[in-house]
Chain A
Amino acid sequence: MSYPSNSNIHLFRNEILNLCKQDVAKCIQCGKCSAGCPISPEMDIQPNQIIRLIQLNDREGVLRSNTIWLCASCETCSVRCPEKIEIATIMDILRKLSLEANIQAGEKNIVKFDQIFLDSIKKRGRVHELGLVIRYNLTTGQPWKDVHLGPIMFMKGKFSLLGHRIKELERVKEIFRLSRRIKSQE
């Protein structure tokens, strides 16, 4: 495979710069983001390589990776980056771009998990753990996954059967409405 593409090599860099004010050209490839990332062993492309691929204008390579979906947004990378690049913010933007471009994520289930998670928040204002796990297991076709943990967690009071609703659910719904409006304005 050969890089980079013939188009303007700064295209992707500038796109990211416009979307979130983060300039990947600042990256000195020290690798501290990858070194501190708790999920890095699971990632197909390391966080520093993601930044590198943006520098080299490899849009597809970045958006197809499972890294952007595995990122837990813990922001360890952003906090430790010597060049003050907010890598977690970039990951967020990349997820958005990946969805918009309708690119099959390397980890399909992650997108599903995100959707179920957000659904739960939308309905109750907080996560209903049991409901989330059941829906996730059913959607991904693995109904018995981690079932043996259920009774233990229940006994320890880690989740309730029916779940809770927050008091001012309307305000959470307002957040969803607002974000949808912002998206449509875009």
Chain B
Amino acid sequence: MTESSQNENIEIFTYSEVIDVKGFVGNFDVTIRKKPRYVDMGKCTGCGLCIEKCPTKVPSEWDLGLGMRKAIYKPFGQAVPNVPVIDKENCRFFTTGKCKVCQKICPAQAIDYEQKEELIKKKFGAIIVATGFTQFDPSVYGEYGGGRFKDVITALHLERMLDASGPTGGHVIRPSDQKEPKNIVFIQCVGSRDESKGYPYCSRICCMYTAKQAILLKDHFPDTQSYIFYIDIRAGGKNYEEFVKRAQREYGAIYIRGRVSKIYEKGDKLIVRGVDTLTGKQIEIEADLVVLATAIIPQPDSKELAKILNIPHDQYGFFTEAHPKLQPVESLTKGIFLTGSCQFPKDIPDSVATTGAASIRACEILSKDELVLDPKIAKIDPEICSGCLNCLEVCPFDAIERNEVNGKIIAQVIPTLCHGCGNCAATCRTKAANVEGFADDQIYAQIASIVEILQKEKLLELSE
């Protein structure tokens, strides 16, 4: 990240969001909303004095509430740029009007409470969407405690605890009493592969990270015993199957095929009741800690972003590729590419691979002076067009624009956006819109010609 921030050809807009995209491949007009961070990025040296002195502490989002952060903070250790941001909701100055400790302490005088939101308009040739995913909220599972049990955590919580620079300094503890857990139960497919919760797909990464966590736990804390409830182990990848087997053999993780039906408290333990479908017997485990492998789900605002970018998404909100096999990183809109888990759940190697592919696809566009397009696109005859603009309504690619020629309103096709689907041609009442090569006259001519040939053949047959 630091390397890319220092590359002269890369400009990073942090704490910003794309609010509008107009135009087409090679000519995107993008509006970016840069939110005020109340710290002057030009002046700030990243010394961190303000963070140290800030009196307000709130639960850290990065540590999922396991640790605290200040009201002026950096989202995480390696964050780029190395400049803090003020959380307006919690900052004492913004809520009460008093404090200004950070401003007083800052040696570079970089704190600026007056900073305003900025709208940046810029032209881009290609867009790569890499907005990632979020995780499923497991509290809808009443049988898993519905969020009541402190010691039922998600895998991401455990991941934060296993981090040596994390909120617990690499120690795994029970959130309820800070004690070290002995028996740890992992539950796979929490949300995923569950039609009733709305996410019937496989999240693809949980099998592997759970095996990794079981290995790390045994490695760091040899007294622990991991139990993993699974439906299927999906370890499809280079060396993945071997990795899971290592967790079972060398690290003694007990894999139990079956879904957990209930978790309840007994003393300070959690009783996890499941079934081992391989023996058909019910299983109860006295667990100290339960770790849920929650589903990967789309970002909550992914559908809005799809609207802004004019790219399609599926029923869940994952962005749809142009072709699942042959155009896996292209969106249906030319010049917009997809990568990472905003498209569907991907692991790191897949994300890295699709990012490489999407970048090369974008470079392909940028490296050319002229773009070659499919000739089978719509054309609207300005002489015939009545300007009703019905075609504009039905075009799924926003490829038709309203235009005025000599005071007359007409519809015009933007060739780079048109996919030649023919919706406009079918809608056009005056027959001004046609897909090139497929005008009504041309098709009638083709039919007439075929009929003629057939008739000749028939005549030949009769004469024989």
Q: Which residues of A contact B (CB under 8 A)?
A: 1-4, 6, 8-10, 23, 25-26, 28-29, 45, 48-49, 52-53, 55-56
Contact = CB atoms under 8 A, between A and B. Distances in A.
B23 interface: no
Given A3-B284, A9-B225, A9-B254, A56 B249 contact: no
A52 B252 contact: no
10 contacts: A2-B283, A3-B276, A3-B283, A6-B286, A25-B248, A25-B249, A26-B245, A49-B278, A53-B279, A56-B279
Which residue of B245, B257, B276, B284 has the most chain A CB atoms within 10 A of its CB atom? B276
Contacts of B225: 8-9
Give the one of A8, A48, A56 with max B CB within 10 A: A56
Interface in B266-313: 273, 276, 278-279, 281-286
B249 A10 contact: no
Contacts of A26: 245, 249
A48 B282 CA distance: 17
A55 B281 contact: no
Interface residues of B, number: 18
Contacts of B249: 23, 25-26
A45 B280 CA distance: 11
B257 A29 contact: yes
A2 B248 contact: no
Contacts of A1: 281-282
Q: Is the interface of A mostly helix, strand, loop or mixed?
A: loop
A8 B286 CA distance: 13
**Shortest beta-carbon contacts, A-B, top 10:** A2-B284, A25-B249, A52-B278, A3-B283, A49-B279, A52-B279, A29-B278, A25-B248, A10-B252, A9-B254
B211 to A, nearest CB: 14
A145 B252 CA distance: 50
Given A3-B276, A52-B276, A25 B282 contact: no
A33 B285 CA distance: 28
A25 B247 CA distance: 10
A68 to B, nearest CB: 15
B282 A2 contact: yes
Contacts of A52: 276, 278-279
A1 B225 CA distance: 21
Contacts of A53: 279
B285 A4 contact: yes
A48 B280 CA distance: 12
B273 to A, nearest CB: 8
Given A10-B252, A29-B257, A4 B283 contact: yes
B287 to A, nearest CB: 12
Nearest to A51: B278
B276 A56 contact: yes
Contacts of B286: 6
Nearest to B254: A9
Given A4-B283, A52-B276, A52-B279, 4 more contacts: A3-B284, A25-B248, A56-B279, A56-B283
A52 B283 CA distance: 13
B435 to A, nearest CB: 55
A23 B276 CA distance: 20
Contacts of B278: 29, 48-49, 52
A55 B254 contact: yes
A55 B252 CA distance: 10
B270 to A, nearest CB: 14
A34 B276 CA distance: 17
Contacts of A23: 249
Interface string B220-232: 0000010000000
A119 to B, nearest CB: 36
Most chain A beta-carbon neighbours within 10 Å: one of B254, B273, B279: B279
Nearest to B257: A29
Nearest to A6: B286
B231 to A, nearest CB: 13
B454 to A, nearest CB: 60
